[in-house]
Amino acid sequence: MKKISDSAVRRLALYQRFLQEAADAGLDTISSGDLAERGGTTSAQVRKDLSLFGSFGKRGLGYEVQELLREIREILGVDRTWKVALVGAGKIGSALFSYRDFQKRGFRISAAFDSDPAKVGSDMGGVTVRADEEMDRRLRDEGIEMVIVAVPAEAAQAVVDRVVNAGVRAILNFAPVRLRVPRGVALRNVDLTLELEGLSFALTGR
């Protein structure tokens, strides 16, 4: 098991998206140059990325769209459905819950939890918001594989500890804190304020 950089994985996910578009447009083959252009990278980068996993192209021709799409989906593990739970049914949480793309791409949010009694029991598109206390048990019982954390910063670490303890090994965190997870648990952060601060820096220019 080679070590694949985070940026390579991101690009693969992008290629997948472009390949899907190309497939929808009825294209049969696509070259590394085509993929590169759409992804804002170079053809060499595309070929290097793909070569990490095998040789999928035909020299002189390019890549067969359907075949490469299938390969990349398998590599990314998105050739199946993932069971996802949402912790925190506030504004961001509910927005994520009804985010169409998740469903479309095979990420099924089949459980939701909140510590606010006012929210517990409410229905979110077929899924009932459950009490915080039920979380640990239900995560296991329902075989949840990924958790989206959308709770206040102060609560996030405690939630994550419990989630990890319940056997979940992938976490997408929206709370603006640096979380600690054991080795072997995948963690991605979406830090909205950080992004705006990055823009601020770019405008301030230094």
Question: What x-and-dash track marks residues 59-78 binding DNA by CB under 7 A?
Answer: xxxxx---------------
Residue among 47 and 73 whose Cβ is closer to DNA: 47
Whole-Å CA distances, 138 to 40, 118, 154, 165, 166: 42, 20, 23, 12, 9
Contact between 177 and DNA per CB under 7 A? no
Single out the residue of 21, 28, 58, 152 in contact with DNA (rule: CB under 7 A). Answer: 58
Minimum Å distance from CB 163 to a second copy? 13
Contact between 160 and a second copy per CB under 8 A? no
The owner of tokens 């020299």 is 59
Angle at 186 between CA 49 and CA 153, to 5 degrees: 125
Minimum Å distance from CB 174 to DNA? 23
Contact between 27 and DNA per CB under 7 A? no
CA 150/CA 87 separation, integer angstroms: 6
Contact between 47 and DNA per CB under 7 A? yes
Contact between 96 and a second copy per CB under 8 A? yes
Q: Which stretch binds a second copy (CB under 8 A): 70-78, 116-124, 126-134, 154-162?
A: 70-78
Among residues 147, 150, 189, which one has the least CA distance to residue 168?
Answer: 147
3 state SS for 91-139: HHHHHHHCCHHHHHCCEEEEEEEECCCCCCCCEECCEEEEEHHHHHHHH
Residues engaged in binding DNA (CB under 7 A):
3, 5-8, 31-33, 41-45, 47-48, 50-51, 55-63
